Every structure is written in C-alpha cells, then in structure tokens.
Amino acid sequence: MGKTGQTERKKQSEPEDSLKDIISLCKRRGFIYQGSEIYGGLANTFDYGPYGVELLRNLKNEWWHTFVSSRSDIVGLDSSIFLHPKAWEASGHLDSFHDPLSDCKHCQSRIRADQYLKERQDIDTESMSLSQIQAVFQEKGDSFHCPQCGKKGTFTKPRQFNLMFSTKMGSVLGENDMEVYLRPETAQGIFLNFRNISSTCRVNVPFGVAQIGKSFRNEITARQFIFRTREFEQMEIEFFCKPGTQKKWFDYWVDSCTKWLDSLGVCKKNLRLRSHEKKELSFYSENTVDIEYNFPFGWGELWGIASRTDYDLRQHSSHSKKNLNYFDAEKGENWLPYVIEPALGLNRLFLCILADSYHVENPETKEKRTVLKLASHLSPVKAGIFPLQKKDGLLEIAEEVHKKLYRSFAVELDSSGSIGKRYYRQDELGTPYCITVDYQTKEDQTITLRKRDSMSQKRIPIEEIHSYLLKKLQPSIC
C-alpha cells in the first residue's frame, strides 16, 4: 500500500472516477480490452490482454500452489463444463437458481428488481422474498424510472428467471438433441467425481478437491467492469469433513482464505467479513461468510465460504441411485461427508488486486505518477531492461542482459521513447525493477537498477544482477 502522504487513493471521494481510471489503465497498458471491440463491443464481455493474462496466471498459480501443491490433503480436478442435465435437477439449480427480473414495457430493457430497490430506493432487499419485492413494485412502481429509457411506471411485475445458460447437444440438429446447461459453478463437477476420487486416490476424510475453471450465469449486470460478468472464472474447493466437525473446518477456512489475501498484499482495511442472515442463505447452505472487498464502487463479495452440509452428495446420491457414502475404515462406519466450500471468483480477485495496488502519487503536480504497487510475485513483468540509446553498442549490451535473465524471470526489453516514458510505462504495469544500460556500463560493466516504489537508483555489476533479482523477488510459482 501507499507509503507516502502524497499517495492518493481517490476511492472514497470519487469512486466512479477511480474505477474509470483503472479501466482506462487496463486498456492503455494491455491488461483488459472490451470484448468484440471492433464490432462495437458485446456488452459485459472482456478480453484479457498480454499483461492481464500474466496477472491472471500468477493469481491462479499462487492459489493452486498454496491450496493444492503445497498440501497433502487437497487434490485437483478439471471437470467438464457440461454436466448431465440431471445433475442440475439434483443440485437444485434448475428449481432454485434464479433472480427476480422485471422488464421495461417501453424499451424492453431488463432490470434485477431486488438490485433496483436496493440501489435506487435504498431498500434492504437481502432477505426479501419474491412476493415482498413484487408488493413494493405494485405499491410504488408507478414512480419508478427505467434506468435505460428514463420512462416512469413502465416495469412489469418482477418474475423469477433461471440464471443458467442452456444450449442443445446432439449429433443431428433438431433430432434427439438434449437440452444442456453451461455450468453456473465449478462445484458440481467436484461432487459428481467424489466417488471416483475417493476410490482411486489415496485420500481420507478430511480432504478437499480444488478446481479452477469457467462458469456462466445469465445475470443482469450493473456496469461494474469485471465485477459481475456472464462468463467468469472460479477457483473453488470442496472440503469434505466428518459430520460434526464442520464448524471447526468452517472457521479454519475463513481464517486460511483471509491469510492468503494478506500474502498477496491486499490491504487489511479494505477487507471485511460478512455473515449471511438466515433468510439470505443460498438454498444449499447452513452458514455462509463472505469476505468482502471495498471496491471503488463500495463493498462487494469477493470470496464466499459456505457450509454446504451433505446436501449435494445426498442429492446426487438419491438422483443417480449411486452410493456416495465414505467408508471410515478406522470406525468401520459409512457416512456422507459434510462439505465446507471456499469459492473465489478469479476476475473479482483481479479487480481487487488492481484497485488495491492502484496509486496516483503527487496527483496535481508535474511529478504525477501512476503506479501499480503489486506484490512482486504477482507482477506481469519482473524487470524492464532499457538501453539509454539504441546506438553505440548499448542495445547489444541490453540484449545480453536480457539473455542472462529471461529464462528465470519475466523480463521485457524496451528501447523506444525517452527513459522517463519507459519508467512510466513499467510503473503502470506494476514492474518492481527497471534496469538501464548507459554509457558508464561500457566502462565498468555496471547497470542502473531503479526500484518501482521508492524510485531509488543504484549501480550494480551486470554479473550480479541475476542473483540480486533472485534474492529480492518473491518466489514466482510457475
């Protein structure tokens, strides 16, 4: 986080501006582009550019390393996006996974009725039922303005709409094709493989199965950049434990997830825990805590930790008619494990990391500097290498330095524009170090090393630069 008094985070005073600034940096520096831009864009779709994909990959690698590779009680999985349609019947998603939506009769745009009441009427809708939401629309709907066309009193009565995208699967179009759904969460693929994993891998309860993958929800979105999109990536763990021990494991997971965010450098004051009220709980949960982040538009869910009981395994067992019990060899008993589920959205984590590391220093002065103060193990580029000039052999020396480093670190050779502009660019990419090859390099084989956060510079022999970076950079997990 910012260490100087001059560092300004616009968050509290001008939240909209701060999000706009982050979106603009993402576009300018190749982190995130609008989806299908050359065709005018496709609403709420985003493409991750060369630096965005590196940051995403670093986040995934960190998560996998912490929660899978470095533990003996969690194993990985990569299940299909399409599951048998009966799985969604069993999981409850066909019946219960919906949002209350209302249409504007004038412009046909659709709103999420609960969000409309919360954001525009200041009504706490967290624990309201559909009929309560409908009652408010009936009573006050004549005064509600459509956010799209501005007309008054044009909303239809809110109705529940399922959030799952469906498509057809079949070898001959129209014949015997089956309606299938794009998964709205990665979790169900894990439950469907519980029997496979527990019978083929050396795992004993308590153990977890982790998965990273795309999920899809046909949501009405609130123009909050990548916070809520229809296609997104989740990093989920289903942690199977003995019935009766779920409280202990629930607390353990809330704590572990919080500590992990800390290890990424997320500022503690921008995080808080929020327990779900009973009425607000998802249909499968007996207890849920959200880790919320103070995004530029306010507090929002980043990571949900839910106690799912044995709901899913019980449902799949009864719908598939397969025994999904776990055999406890020590006690000689069979039982269905309970499940604790830490479910994190990768794209939301990406936005949290960007917002948290985004700093504008000396904003109203000539020395204004925008810098992403990313933890070095997350930075897409670890060091920029700049020849002061392309001539007089400096470019060739810079290429040699690049050669020495590129196998161990993500480094970038940049020889265009002024040194100041090159520094500025790397600051906006969150690059922790910049290395400049200048005329003194030719005389004494030293380079200038500049640190991103302090902007301090020192000379280091070329011979020592590899070991210096190795020592200074937090381990990169690739």
- 452 forms part of the interface with ligand GAP (CB under 6 A): no
- 234 forms part of the interface with ligand GAP (CB under 6 A): yes
In sequence order, the 6+-apart residues with CB closer than 8 A to the CB of 60 are 212, 235, 346
- 112 forms part of the interface with ligand GAP (CB under 6 A): no
- 185 forms part of the interface with ligand GAP (CB under 6 A): yes
**Residue whose token pair is 């809330």:** 254
- 347 forms part of the interface with ligand GAP (CB under 6 A): yes
Rounded Cα distance, 235 and 233, in Å:
7
Please, what is the minimum distance in Å from the beta carbon of residue 439 to ligand GAP? 50
Please, what is the minimum distance in Å from the beta carbon of residue 127 to ligand GAP? 16
Output 161 or 409, the one with its CB closest to ligand GAP.
161
Size of the site for ligand GAP (CB under 6 A): 19
- 301 forms part of the interface with ligand GAP (CB under 6 A): yes
Please, what is the minimum distance in Å from the beta carbon of residue 90 to ligand GAP? 15
Interacting residue with ligand GAP among 113, 192, 344, 449 (CB under 6 A): 344
Output 341 or 361, the one with its CB closest to ligand GAP.
341
- 194 forms part of the interface with ligand GAP (CB under 6 A): no
Rounded Cα distance, 320 and 87, in Å:
8
Other CB atoms within 10 A of residue 315 CB: 18
- 345 forms part of the interface with ligand GAP (CB under 6 A): yes
Applying CB under 6 A, the span of 94-102, 232-240, 381-389, 435-443 interacting with ligand GAP comes to 232-240
- 343 forms part of the interface with ligand GAP (CB under 6 A): yes
Output 141 or 189, the one with its CB closest to ligand GAP.
189
Q: Are 394 and 430 in contact (CB under 8 A)?
A: no
- 399 forms part of the interface with ligand GAP (CB under 6 A): no
Sites for ligand GAP among residues 114-153 (CB under 6 A): none
- 217 forms part of the interface with ligand GAP (CB under 6 A): yes
Please, what is the minimum distance in Å from the beta carbon of residue 209 to ligand GAP? 13
Output 231 or 399, the one with its CB closest to ligand GAP.
231
- 302 forms part of the interface with ligand GAP (CB under 6 A): yes
In sequence order, the 6+-apart residues with CB closer than 8 A to the CB of 380 are 50, 51, 52, 54, 55, 58, 410, 429, 430, 431
Please, what is the minimum distance in Å from the beta carbon of residue 217 to ligand GAP? 5
- 101 forms part of the interface with ligand GAP (CB under 6 A): no
Please, what is the minimum distance in Å from the beta carbon of residue 302 to ligand GAP? 6
Output 218 or 389, the one with its CB closest to ligand GAP.
218
Interacting residue with ligand GAP among 114, 236, 312, 427 (CB under 6 A): 236
β-partners of residue 46 are 34
- 162 forms part of the interface with ligand GAP (CB under 6 A): no
* Binding residues for ligand GAP (CB under 6 A): 185, 187, 217, 219, 228-229, 232, 234, 236, 301-304, 341, 343-345, 347-348
